[in-house]
Structure 1
Amino acid sequence: MTLRDAISGDAAGAPPRPIIELRNVSKIYGRGEAEVRALDGICLTIRKGEFAAVMGPSGSGKSTAMNIIGCLDQPTSGDYLFNGVEVGGLDRAQRALLRRHYLGFVFQGFNLLARTTAVENVELPLIYRGMRQAERRPLALDALARVGLAGRAGHAPSELSGGQQQRVAIARAIVTSPSVLLADEPTGNLDTKTSEEIMELLVDLNRTQGITIVMVTHEPEMVRYAGRVVQFVDGHIASDEDVQAAA
């Protein structure tokens, strides 16, 4: 069975599996007196189609948890399952395949290539897949249209506002049709009005396209857009609440 076969879908008649499961996950840096427990035996389940906001002060473990979920880091102990597949049992190439085909990433700093156009930035994940330009260009243009930037495809990042640059970054994240979108402080560099527009876009992607979203944020006003809030403190989950997302 290939990785795609293992990840795709649930067994007939079985209840839906969580898309993300962290089981007693710990992440330890250093040894002896220098040991730091960034995560200390946390358990977290994210269901398909959820919009979960992850909060906590600096050093609480929220970014470490996000890195593990995004296959950018591995736990010291415990298990991480993605749609029922044990990620710890995958080799480096398989983890890269999981990131490339099932996960999308949005960062606070946009991370756009300065000397390329918006559409070329959006095409990048498709280039990594080995897709030819004739195939990837329509997909990239469609992704830009889905985030409201159909008329900005030929613009460089320097010709776009901060909000437009973040929309390009979101288009780049969704062009591969990921199962999960991981957003790390997506409104951290934006003003209030633009932040609200970006959050409304994320809510729309979650509700209309069924993309599961896990968002790290330190901004309490952004939490109201999520359907669930997970609070990290000192490497533990201090609270986990279902809330009513903003309309």
Structure 2
Amino acid sequence: MSGQGADALIRLVGITKTYGTGQAAFQALRGVDLDIGAGEFVAVMGPSGSGKSTAMNVLGCLDTPSGGEYLFRGVHVERLERNQRALLRRHYLGFVFQGFNLLARTSAQENVELPLLYRGEEAGARHAAARAALARVGLAGWEAHTPAELSGGQQQRVAIARAIVTNPLVLLADEPTGNLDSQRSHEIMELLVALNRDQGITVIMVTHEPDMAAYARRVVRFVDGRVASDERREAEAASCS
């Protein structure tokens, strides 16, 4: 799926982001145009300071653009109030970070239940959904273990289960293999590919590692706050489907 056109799940039009004012102003994004279709797997790459992380923060409603338009399913996100953006995050987006961000003294199941707790779901539904999410990432039977009892790869699987327990439309992954060795990194990437292929979750992943980006069907490269290139891998996409 190309993501081009008015039916794009996500559309950025002329997005800018400036930090600071006057002489100290820094323009992190300088007019970004980007369409992402439902069901795509997109890797976002670029050198440090290229704007890729700022773009991810805008996409994840963790930051607001200074200018331009951000449409999510046709809704102008840049016009939403803070609580409306929080609702969009809670119901449509899942997040996976390099540092796992798990609660240390809390079991895997309780970590995965957190987003459902914030949504006010009742205990029985939370427990069942968390167990199902852990099973989807290959951790059935590990529900009672705390992060200290899990390997790095298992901790990232718990983090992914927490991100998908709400059945999000989009999974935003920021350097998801950055703290893992090579074998665990490839296992996590294969899991993300399977979630994209089998569950239809749109995956947008920031990475600086070409071998991790190779799992994506599309690679967008940022340079100096702009999209410098946008490469689609149609043949590989067909082989993944």
TM-score tier (shorter)? over 0.9
What pairs up with 1:106-125 in 2 under 5 angstroms? 106-125=96-115
- Asked if residue 42 in structure 1 is aligned to residue 61 in structure 2, the reply is no
Query: Secondary structure, in 3 states, of the residue corresponding to 1:153?
Result: coil
Structure 2: gaps of 5 or more residues: none
Structure 1: gaps of 5 or more residues: 1-14
Query: Secondary structure, in 3 states, of the residue corresponding to 1:167?
Result: helix
- Asked if residue 142 in structure 1 is aligned to residue 114 in structure 2, the reply is no
Q: Deviations over 1:220-240 (max 9, x none)?
A: 110110000000001011100
- Asked if residue 193 in structure 1 is aligned to residue 183 in structure 2, the reply is yes
Q: Which residue of structure 1 lines up, in the alignment, with residue 42 of structure 2? A: 52
Q: Normalised by the size of structure 1, how large is the TM-score?
A: 0.92
- Asked if residue 203 in structure 1 is aligned to residue 188 in structure 2, the reply is no
Pairwise CA distance, 1:31: 2.0
Query: Secondary structure, in 3 states, of the residue corresponding to 1:151?
Result: coil
Q: For residues 225 and 31 of structure 2, what CA distance do their matches in structure 1 show?
A: 8
Q: 1:233 aligns with which of 210, 223, 228?
A: 223
Q: For residues 236 and 163 of structure 1, what CA distance do their matches in structure 2 show?
A: 33
- Asked if residue 222 in structure 1 is aligned to residue 208 in structure 2, the reply is no
Q: Which residue of structure 1 lines up, in the alignment, with residue 66 of structure 2? A: 76
Q: For residues 93 and 67 of structure 1, what CA distance do their matches in structure 2 show?
A: 16
What pairs up with 1:92-171 in 2 under 5 angstroms? 92-171=82-161
The aligned amino acid for 2:49 is G
Pairwise CA distance, 1:181: 0.2
Aligned pair count?
233
CA RMSD of aligned residues (A): 1.2
Q: For residues 15 and 214 of structure 2, what CA distance do their matches in structure 1 show?
A: 27
Q: Which contiguous aligned blocks of 4+ residues in structure 1 show a shift greater than 6 angstroms?
A: none
Q: For residues 115 and 121 of structure 2, what CA distance do their matches in structure 1 show?
A: 9
Query: Secondary structure, in 3 states, of the residue corresponding to 1:79?
Result: strand
Q: For residues 158 and 63 of structure 1, what CA distance do their matches in structure 2 show?
A: 29
Q: Which residue of structure 2 lines up, in the alignment, with residue 19 of structure 1? A: 9
Pairwise CA distance, 1:16: 7.2
Q: Deviations over 1:197-217 (max 9, x none)?
A: 000000000000000000000
Pairwise CA distance, 1:32: 2.4
The aligned amino acid for 2:165 is V
Q: Deviations over 1:157-195 (max 9, x none)?
A: 000000000000000000000000000000000000000
Stretch moving more, 181-190 or 127-136: 127-136
Pairwise CA distance, 1:67: 0.3
